[in-house]
Amino acid sequence: MTSASSVIEGTPALRVRVRYLRDARVLYALGDGPGGLAPATPLAAGMDLRACMDAEEAVLPAGSRLAIPAGVAVEPLSPGAAGFVYSRSGLGTRMGLTVSRGVGVIDPDYRGEIVVSLLNTSGEERRIRRGERIAQLVFQPYFHALVEEADALGETARGAGGFGHTGTL
């Protein structure tokens, strides 16, 4: 577990409770990092999520999606913060494996296991090994919207201009 002393001075910090499910604690102890769900380096914004499925390997045919359990449940301890699951840049660039919805949102009141839906954007079959790092979890602030119905919205220079309205160059 990361201690408060490992936080870089001046970097905002958020306390988060983590519950390891099944044997995930062992899988999160793999590698050269600090062990457990924690940033791999002192200035890393995210924490790597690992494939915690029962099988030793999962196969993703070209163009397919697969939901992979991450073996952890989280509880952010400050209001106004939620977890966001992003693709790992190396996995996406080298292997074409990305988070299938672009970004997964872990609402602050969700207490179930985080499940990562991966999309194989490559033209080849890909394999994920049990314990492999598959995505990253970043905690970010969010705003709770107070919706007000209106008959009209404020004017702007853009107005209702949509996709491509500013041209292609």
Interval 37-46: pLDDT, tens: 988 888 899 9
CATH architecture of 14-141: Distorted Sandwich (2.70)
pLDDT of residue 6: 55
pLDDT of residue 157: 87
Residue ranges in the chain whose pLDDT is less than 70: 1-7, 31-34, 167-169
Give me the residue spans of the domains in the chain.
14-141
pLDDT of residue 125: 97
- Number of residues assigned to the chain: 169
Beta bridge partners of 81: 141
CA geometry: angle at 139 spanning 132 and 7, to 5°?
A: 90
Burial of residue 128 (number of CB atoms within 10 Å: 0-12, 13-18, 19+): buried
pLDDT in tens, 71-85: 999 999 999 999 999
pLDDT of residue 35: 73
- Do strands 72-76 and 126-129 pair parallel, antiparallel, or not at all (unpaired)? unpaired
